Amino acid sequence: MLNFQCLSGCIHLNRVVMIKQFTDMAKSQATFMKKQLEKNRAKKKEDKEQRKLERKQNSNGGKLEDMLAYVDENGELSSSPPEIKQPARPSNR
């Protein structure tokens, strides 16, 4: 430890005083950073909730029938189901 005497005659423990100042400053910076991180998390959560509500309002329903695609006998995709043709039944007479 370095002791020195200032002009007014008081003795200071220079190193202890400096360490205490740095420690106090580090604590206040850590507290500030914690508060900033918490604010950022809250803002992100709020933004996410806002985007979720916007998606919900702008959705067109997402029904299963809208998402289905049908393949006809030529292999082409269509949005309407194919006509069901009854197979010819062989007669056993």
For residue range 25-66, what is the model confidence (pLDDT) as tens digits?
Answer: 677 888 889 999 999 999 999 999 999 999 988 877 777 777
Confidence band (pLDDT; 50, 70, 90) for 93?
A: low
DSSP-derived 3-state class of residue 77: strand
DSSP-derived 3-state class of residue 34: helix
Q: Sketch the domain layout of the chain as residue ranges.
A: 7-78
Residue 1 has what pLDDT? Answer: 45
Q: Cα 20 vs. chain centroid, distance in angstroms?
A: 39
* Residue labelled with tokens 């205490």: 20
The token duo for 68 is 């289905």
Q: Dmax of the chain from CA atoms?
A: 130
Q: Is the pTM of this model over 0.75?
A: no
